[in-house]
């Protein structure tokens, strides 16, 4: 049993898809499938129940899941201890993020970090909030940007910084709302909506916001891709509730929401003990907002 195989197993368990998991771990799907088959042969058990439409953990897979997380967390801790001895010549940082991150230019920051510390390996995970929280707790992730209420986080996690951003109704340029100074959510009962993927922090906040406003959305399309969602809204196929900055970046009209407090909180989160990894400390120096800015 190899650490690589366990990493592949966790990716499939998290994504419930060999295609998406292969993308996450940066291997071709055939290699990922072969790795899982080899692990199953070594353990003498089927880890996933596969159908043409879904991939689910088998009883054996569910039993292996916490063990695999524990083994990989111990391996990451060992690497952190070695990197502490070696300085930043070597090391590893695992960072989780959300698609709709407007707080910071993350690719630019990671490029600067890689240039300054070329020996440090960075892995980046994009996943629903619950999965990233579990990955933080198990040690798969060192840091993560989460779109959720700070008071909703488990006690084992620590908020390093947070930012609140307003939400708005995003509309295409030809939609009648595009010229309005504001709109009440309750007045949009007849409008079609496009929804971002279930399980994300944004979707949870939007569900709560619409419920409080008495709006039963007529959701006509759901997507996991921000670019597709923006294109659907732009072409008039539905409205969406998005952070104002995201709507503007996508070229959509952001119509202010009247009558309800409409915002979401994005937090940079870690778990206790992150300071033992010098690579994490170095990355945090770049991720923290500049007080002078």
Tokens representing 99 are 């698609």
- In the chain, the domains with their CATH numbers are 1-71 (1.10.10.10), 163-265 (3.40.190.290)
Q: Are 240 and 229 in contact (CB under 8 A)?
A: yes
Which residue is associated with the tokens 């709507």? 247
Quick one: pLDDT at residue 187? Answer: 93
Q: Are 65 and 138 in contact (CB under 8 A)?
A: no
Q: What is the pLDDT along the chain (293 residues), one digit of tens a residue?
A: 888 888 899 888 888 888 888 887 888 888 889 999 999 999 999 999 887 677 889 999 999 988 888 888 778 777 766 665 555 656 788 899 988 888 888 999 999 999 988 888 888 888 888 888 888 888 888 899 988 777 778 878 888 888 888 999 999 988 999 889 999 999 999 999 998 876 567 888 888 899 999 999 999 998 888 889 999 999 999 999 999 988 988 889 999 999 878 888 888 999 875 556 788 888 888 887 554 44
Q: Are strands 218-223 and 192-196 parallel, antiparallel or unpaired?
A: parallel
Quick one: pLDDT at residue 88? Answer: 60
Instruction: With CA atoms as reference, report the closest residue to 256 among 268, 272, 242, 271.
Output: 242
Quick one: pLDDT at residue 117? Answer: 87
Instruction: Measure the CA–CA gap between 263 and 248, rounded to whole angstroms.
Output: 16
DSSP strands (E only) in the chain: 48-50, 55-57, 91-97, 120-126, 143-147, 157-171, 192-196, 218-223, 240-243, 253-256, 263-271
Quick one: pLDDT at residue 80? Answer: 66
Query: Three-state SS string across 189-221, please?
Result: CCCEEEEECCCCHHHHHHHHHHHHHCCCCEEEE
Q: Are 103 and 163 in contact (CB under 8 A)?
A: yes
Intra-chain end-to-end CA distance of the chain, in Å? 48
Look up the pTM and report it.
Answer: 0.69
**Between the CA of residue 199 and those of 102, 180, 205, 207, what are the distances in Å?**
19, 31, 10, 11
């Amino acid at each position: 049993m190899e650490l690589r195989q366990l990493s592949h197993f966790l990716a499939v368990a998290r994504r419930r898809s060999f295609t998406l998991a292969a993308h996450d771990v940066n291997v071709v799907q055939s290699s990922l499938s072969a790795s899982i088959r080899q692990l199953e042969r070594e353990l003498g058990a089927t880890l996933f129940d596969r159908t043409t439409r879904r991939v689910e953990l088998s009883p054996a897979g569910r039993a292996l899941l916490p063990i695999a997380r524990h083994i990989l967390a111990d391996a990451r801790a060992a690497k952190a201890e070695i990197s502490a001895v070696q300085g930043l010549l070597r090391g590893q940082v695992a960072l989780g993020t959300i698609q709709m991150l407007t707080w910071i230019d993350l690719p630019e920051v990671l490029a600067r970090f890689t240039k300054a510390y070329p020996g440090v390996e960075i892995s980046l995970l994009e996943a629903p909030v619950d999965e990233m929280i579990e990955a933080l707790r198990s040690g798969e992730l060192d840091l993560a940007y989460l779109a959720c209420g700070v008071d909703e986080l488990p006690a084992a996690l620590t908020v390093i910084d947070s930012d609140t951003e307003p939400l708005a109704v995003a509309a295409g340029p030809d939609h009648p709302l595009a010229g309005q100074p504001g709109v009440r959510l309750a007045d949009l009962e007849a409008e079609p909506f496009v929804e971002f993927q279930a399980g994300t922090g944004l979707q949870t906040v939007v569900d709560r916001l619409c419920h409080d406003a008495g709006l039963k959305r007529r959701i006509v399309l759901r997507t996991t891709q921000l670019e597709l969602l923006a294109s659907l809204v732009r072409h008039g196929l539905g409205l969406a509730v998005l952070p104002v900055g995201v709507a503007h970046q996508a070229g959509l009209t952001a119509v202010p929401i009247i009558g309800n407090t409409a915002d979401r909180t994005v937090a940079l989160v870690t778990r206790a003990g992150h300071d033992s990894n010098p690579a994490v400390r170095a990355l945090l120096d770049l991720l923290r907002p500049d007080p002078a800015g």
